[in-house]
Amino acid sequence: MGGESAGVKTGVSVPEVSYDRRTIRLHWATAVLVTALWGIAQIIDLFPKGAPKISARSVHIIIGVLLGVVLVIRIVWRSRSGHRLPPAKAALRDISPGPCTWCYMRGLPR
Ligand code: HEM
């Protein structure tokens, strides 16, 4: 799955316009896991010392390990099979100022 497969049916090469489902799911899994880790870390001191706090810490660590696994899967997927999108239109090279913009920014006559 490269970046040019959207137009396969017509034979016209059209760049992909959105990420594939797996890339999107991995992205949201990362977001949910990081949020859960942060949330647990914020409330971990509310747990009484002993078994409850140890359990909360264990959940934090298990989710952390899961996050590590998701990150590895994500890197492998993105480097091998995920859709590659063209650079965003607002990339720095697309909005680089022309000579008049520099005049404007420096207060020189245009
Ligand atoms: C994005 C990922 C992570 C975030 C945002 C995060 C956040 C935090 C924060 C803010 C604390 C301090 C909690 C406090 O105030 O006492 C903490 C504690 C801790 N974290 Fe994480 N963490 C992450 C990943 C991990 C991973 C991957 C592991 C281990 C595999 C881990 C193990 C621990 C442990 C053992 C503690 C000490 C808990 C305690 O006070 O008993 N964390 N984490």
Domain boundaries, the chain: 21-85
Q: What is the 3-state secondary structure (H, E, C) of the chain?
A: CCCCCCCCCCCCCCCCCCCCHHHHHHHHHHHHHHHHHHHHHHHHHHCCCCHHHHHHHHHHHHHHHHHHHHHHHHHHHHHHCCCCCCCCCCCCCCCCCCHHHHHHHHCCCC
pLDDT in tens, 65-104: 999 999 999 999 988 887 787 777 655 555 556 665 655 5
Query: What's the gap in Å between 47 CA and the centre of ligand 1?
Result: 15
Query: What's the gap in Å between 28 CA and the centre of ligand 1?
Result: 20
pLDDT confidence band for 39 (50 / 70 / 90) = very high
Residue identifier of the C-alpha nearest atom 1 of ligand 1:
34
pTM of the full structure: 0.71
* Ligand 1 binding site (Cβ under 6 Å of any ligand atom): 34, 37-38, 41, 44-45, 57, 60-61, 64-65, 67
